[in-house]
Amino acid sequence: MKGTRDRVFYFMIAGFLILQMAFCAYWGVRKCNFHVDEYFTYGLANNRGAIHPVLEDGTVYSGDDIFLEYLAPDDSECFDYSIIRENISQDAHPPLYYTLIHTICSFFPDSYSKWEGLILNFLLLLLIDGLVYFLANCLLHNRKMALVLTAAYGFCALCVSMVLFIRMYTLMTVFTLAVTLLFTFYYKKKKDIRFWAGLFFLAVGGTMTQYYFLIYLFFLCLVYGILMLMEKNWKDVAAYIGTLALAGIACVLIWPAMLTHILGDASSERGAQAFENAKNLPDLWPHIKSYFNIINGELFGGCLPVLLVLLVIAVIAARRMKRGRRKDFRAVTLLCLPGACYCLVIAAIAPYQYDRYIMAVGPILFLGVLCMLFQAARQAVRDPFIKSAAAYVILAAVVILSWRSVGWKPEYIMENTKDRLEIAEEYAEESVIFVYGYSWTVLENIRELQQYQDFTFVKPQDLAALLEERQEDSYVLYCISGLDFNEVSSAIMARDSGTEIEKLYTRNHQAYADIYYVSRQAVSSE
């Protein structure tokens, strides 16, 4: 019987993984464009000589060649990791994820595809599944419920959005979960060489993936460090401090630029910006509310307040009945503290209130809240059928409602850019004049630019001379945000006061340019 149950359980695991990969692949096919940060992922991993595209103003481009130079390695650049060191030292991120991306892209020189990044994230998702399962099993000591929790997190909107976003946050989640599992597994156990080695390598790996990992690691180590002090195990305390110090030294030796990136100077805008944001305490509460709404919606389907109320009721009932193991419940409680503190710090320092910055602690918060609830309910409710049925209903509701919170589509499939792609198809016979200030803002419009007959980049001050040289009767105009459109339109009208300018597209929070159709002939308002 035990062998049969094991085989059924393994079939359940295989079925879950197959369904999850198929589900993610479906949304991967639906991903119709790149976020500008995803273009940066490819460019920083593969382009030699500049962290932004190098554009020659006034040159007429067509197709994809100019962007291939930035986004894909050529034959001479494949497996050349000096590219990453040169580029990332000028950026504000550590190099590990870019190293993996460059390795994959090196097998496909002179081309780039969303699948190069997505396949990497799909493989990382399999690691996340395993880590979530083992962490849940450590907390609940119930492999069936651990698998159900793993499946619930694996299908929630925040997890799928994370996997579809070709940035370092999926890899950061692997390290966040791994170091949390390490501490959870060794909770109340004697620390051995495997613990110290694991802590060292995970601390280095996570730091080399995303500097925000250090915030989570700090709070995680603080919580368990206090426990060590309370136990007065001074040998472990010394080894603990020594291991973390060695990890910090190793990180600086591997990546000296991290000190500049984190502390901030004139070349590290994000580091300085984080410190500046931390000073603006009056803005903290709105930021906290924004992140709470993200967590509540994309992770818990809007059910977090209800779950917390149920948790309080279950805890009170369990205490009155004086049943269950307090050690297990305390371990789950400790799980939530570092994740919650991480979110508070991110709310204070992150440049924007986006879900990407809290993705790495998503499974921690998910397991923390739900495992505490299920632990308390297991102690308070006697009937096993009621406990199991209630858990399945809650998890199903959380997953389904998480998708409702994002409009039944994950983030980062970029379907909101279809309007621009449709405009490009409609005006495919036209040329584009792209007025810009900084070359990186051009990246967000790559897909539609490829659809036009050709495109030319120009600074606002050079627009009048370019128009005089080209003498075109009609063209599509891209005007990047932040520019004075009155200056741009004046340069157009100076050539011919009878020119009509029709707005085709107004930028939104994921578009950097307004799009216009410019013609000497009158344009119908329809």
Of the chain, the percentage scoring pLDDT greater than 70 comes to: 92
Chain-wide mean pLDDT for the chain?
Answer: 89
Question: In this structure, what are the phi and psi dihedrals at residue 288, rounded to the nearest 5 degrees?
Answer: -60, -45
Report the pLDDT value the prediction gives residue 281, as an integer from 0 to 100: 58
- Given a contact cutoff of 8 angstroms between Cβ atoms, the answer to whether 53 and 439 are in contact is yes
Report the pLDDT value the prediction gives residue 321, as an integer from 0 to 100: 64
Q: State the average pLDDT over residues 385-397.
A: 90
Report the pLDDT value the prediction gives residue 130, as an integer from 0 to 100: 97
Structure confidence by residue, pLDDT tens digits, 58-104? 999 998 888 999 999 999 999 999 999 999 888 889 999 999 999 99
Instruction: Encode burial over 237-269: b for 16+ CB neighbours within 10 A, e otherwise.
Output: eebbeebbeebeebbeeebebbeebbebeeebe
327 or 232: which carries more pLDDT confidence?
232
Bridge partner residues of 330 (DSSP): none
Structure confidence by residue, pLDDT tens digits, 93-125? 999 999 999 999 999 999 999 999 999 999 999
Q: State the average pLDDT over residues 185-195.
A: 89
pLDDT at 522 over 80: no
What confidence tier does 362 reach under pLDDT thresholds 50, 70, 90? very high
Structure confidence by residue, pLDDT tens digits, 453-464? 999 999 999 999
Nearest to 518 by CA among 500, 504, 491: 500
Report the pLDDT value the prediction gives residue 386, as an integer from 0 to 100: 85
What confidence tier does 526 reach under pLDDT thresholds 50, 70, 90? very low
CA distances, 132 to each of 22, 116, 139, 219, 404 (Å): 19, 25, 11, 20, 24
Rounded distance, CA 158 to CA 363, Å? 9
What confidence tier does 266 reach under pLDDT thresholds 50, 70, 90? very low
What confidence tier does 224 reach under pLDDT thresholds 50, 70, 90? confident
CA distances, 146 to each of 335, 337, 368 (Å): 16, 21, 12
Report the pLDDT value the prediction gives residue 198, as an integer from 0 to 100: 97
The one-letter amino acid code at 151 reads A
478 or 234: which carries more pLDDT confidence?
478
Torsion of CA 432, 433, 439, 440, to 10 degrees: -40
